[in-house]
Structure formats: C-alpha cells, structure tokens
C-alpha cells in the first residue's frame, strides 16, 4: 500500500499539501528501505503448516481478502474449527463461509461466522461471550481486521476510528478471550499463539508514536496516515506486552507485506493521491496468496519468538525506534487497562503478577 508513497509526496507538493519532515523521512524509509515481500524464511503453506488437528482458530477480518485466505490455508490442515470474526451480515456470514468452502476440497474444517463490530465494545463483548459459550479452547487468534481511511471518525465509545478498530477493539477482544487462551495453554502439547497484524506503515506514526491525549475524538488535525501509523505502533506494543505478561502465550506482531487488498481499494475512493499513484502498485505488490505467508508462518511455523515484530517472512526487529520503545508499550498497556476499566471491564492480572502474589503468600506462610 505504501510502495507508491514517493509519488504521493511529489503530487502532494504540487497540490500544496503540507508534508512535515517526519512524514518525509518515514515515506523515504518505506519506499527505499521497506520490507518488500520476498526475503526471510522460505515458507510454503501447503507443506510447512503442520497438522492443526483439534485446534480452534479465530480470525478477525476473516471476510476480507487477507483474512479469508488465511482461513483457506489453515482449513487445509485439519483444525477442529475456524471462526471468521467480521462485521454483522444480513445472511449471518453464509456467503463468506460458502466462498471459503468453494476454495477448498469437499473435506475441510468446519467454518463458523462470528459477528463482531470492533468499533463497538458492546458488540465485542457479545461476540466474545458467544465464542466462549461455544468453545472450550482457543489455540490461534489472528487479529487481522483493520482500516485505513482518509475521513476522520470515531468509534461508538468515541475513540479515533483507526485506533479504535485496529488496536483498542482487538485489545478488548483478546482480553475477553484470555481465559480460553490461558486454559488452552495449560493443556498437554499446547502451542497457543496470538498474531496481531501491524504494518510497515507504523513508520508513519506521529512524533512520539502515540498521541495519548488525542485518542478520544476524531483527531481531525492529524493526517490520516499518521492516525493509521499510531494504531499500528500500538499493535506492535500490544504484542510485546502480551508476550511479557503472559509467557504461556506466543504473541507476535506481523507486517503482511505490500499487497493490493480491499483496504487499498477503499482508500482509492477517498484519496485522489491514491488514485493517481495506483498504477505503480503492481510493480511493488504481491498477490494475497503470497501476502498471507507471514500471517501463516507466525501462526504455525517453527522458530517464532514471542514478543517480536516480523516482516515477510519471519524477518524480526525491523520496527522503528519508537515502536521498540518498551516504556511506550508499557504506557499503552496501562492506558488501555484504565480505559477498559472505566468502560466496565475489570482489570485482568498478568501471569507474572499472579506468580508474584503467590510467592508473597508463600513467604507470609513460612
């Protein structure tokens, strides 16, 4: 999506759009030093995904291009069930389930549709309750849903829309599914993973990474790519903190690579600059089938290290300095805890906190 950013900057200058120095530097990095799509670990989903027998999988944004392809590839390897978590539909997701089934042979894992609007806490709460009532375990959660749009807006609870959907909605959903994830992690032979989809576009975040004082409201004074960028910085920080606080769970953030998806098509409708530079995209982008390999490697592959950010395929540690800032990720976690507590969701103790309390109790008893 960001492969045509240089042309965007040139056209932006022509039409007198103000570009700050940070955006210019980030744009240059993305264009010249971006991740590409063909480096890293060789990974063929057909042969390299192990048996997923007995596993339950949840994919947000599973009705979109990337999420649907992730479901198709994972369904070939015999999981117990795959949940497609996406926006409510009039047909209750039957058309999405049918499309996935049509891409597979007659025999494949059962596909279930889970209606969820990540811009609404109430919808997230309802979806999590539905899942938890139906399943005893959750082995793989792929937090894939996301938006990037020019128009400003807010979620139901009043958060900036990109941050609310790309980050905060997923943070709440993970929090509500945490008991299932932790229960599964305690089972013999378990390999529980949370794959949070970020982007190399996190480099477009504003100075400081996340503007905490502006997350409530539409953030109309922040450029759309900065709003998107800070949401993706948040996703990286979330994966790092989740991994640190719950070591039983392997949590990572991934960049899919440069792919033409529905998100890019939607952005073209809103942005003249994107329409002008769209003809360059085929020179830099890969198909969805290739683009999902980093998702799939992170969800099922060997040698995945928890807490890391990976670019395609399995290339770690290429995030920006601000995205690597542990103080920022800790601040984000605490901010998130306070926001969700104020919305009526109780604080969840981390495994390290629980262990520490247990140790103190033992010391008191001796």
For the annotated catalytic residues, the residue numbers are 228, 232
Angle at 11 between CA 9 and CA 15, to 5 degrees: 115
Pairing of β 250-254 and β 111-115: unpaired
Distance CA 37, CA 306 (A): 22
**Residue whose tokens read 């799509």:** 37
Q: Which of 15, 30, 13 is nearest to 225 (CA)?
A: 30
**Residue whose tokens read 């994972």:** 74
Phi and psi, residue 76, nearest 5°: -70, -10
Angle at 265 between CA 40 and CA 124, to 5 degrees: 80
Which residues does 366 contact at the CB level (< 8 Å), separation at least 6?
A: none
Distance CA 249, CA 190 (A): 10
């Amino acid at each position: 999506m960001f492969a045509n950013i240089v042309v965007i900057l040139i056209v932006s200058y022509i039409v007198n759009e103000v570009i700050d120095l940070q955006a210019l530097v980030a744009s240059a990095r993305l264009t010249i030093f971006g991740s590409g799509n063909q480096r890293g670990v060789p990974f063929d989903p057909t042969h390299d995904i192990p048996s997923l027998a007995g596993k339950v999988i949840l994919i947000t944004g599973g009705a979109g291009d990337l999420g649907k392809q992730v479901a198709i590839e994972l369904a070939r390897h015999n999981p117990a069930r795959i949940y497609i978590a996406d926006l409510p539909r009039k047909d209750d997701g039957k058309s999405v389930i049918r499309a996935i089934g049509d891409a597979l042979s007659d025999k494949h894992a059962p596909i279930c549709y889970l209606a969820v609007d990540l811009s609404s806490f109430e919808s997230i709460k309802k979806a999590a309750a539905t899942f938890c009532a139906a399943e005893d375990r959750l082995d793989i959660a792929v937090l894939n849903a996301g938006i990037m749009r020019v128009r400003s807006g807010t979620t139901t609870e009043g958060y900036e829309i990109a941050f609310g959907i790309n980050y905060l909605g997923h943070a709440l959903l993970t929090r509500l599914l945490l008991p299932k994830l932790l229960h599964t992690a305690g089972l013999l032979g378990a390999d529980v993973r949370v794959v949070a989809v970020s982007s190399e576009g996190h480099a477009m975040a504003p100075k400081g990474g996340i503007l905490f004082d502006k997350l409530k409201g539409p953030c109309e004074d922040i450029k759309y790519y900065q709003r998107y960028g800070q949401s993706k910085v948040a996703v990286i920080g979330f994966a790092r903190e989740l991994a640190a606080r719950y070591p039983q769970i392997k949590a990572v953030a991934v960049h899919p690579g440069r792919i033409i998806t529905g998100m890019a098509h939607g952005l073209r409708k809103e942005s003249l600059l994107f329409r002008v530079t769209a003809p360059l995209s085929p020179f830099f982008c890969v198909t969805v089938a290739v683009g999902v390999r980093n998702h799939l490697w992170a969800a099922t592959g060997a040698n995945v290290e928890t807490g890391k950010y990976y670019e395609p395929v399995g290339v770690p540690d290429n995030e920006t300095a601000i995205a690597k800032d542990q103080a920022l990720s800790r601040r984000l976690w605490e901010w998130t805890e306070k926001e969700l507590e104020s919305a009526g969701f109780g604080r969840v103790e981390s495994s390290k906190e629980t262990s520490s309390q247990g140790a103190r109790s033992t010391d008191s008893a001796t």
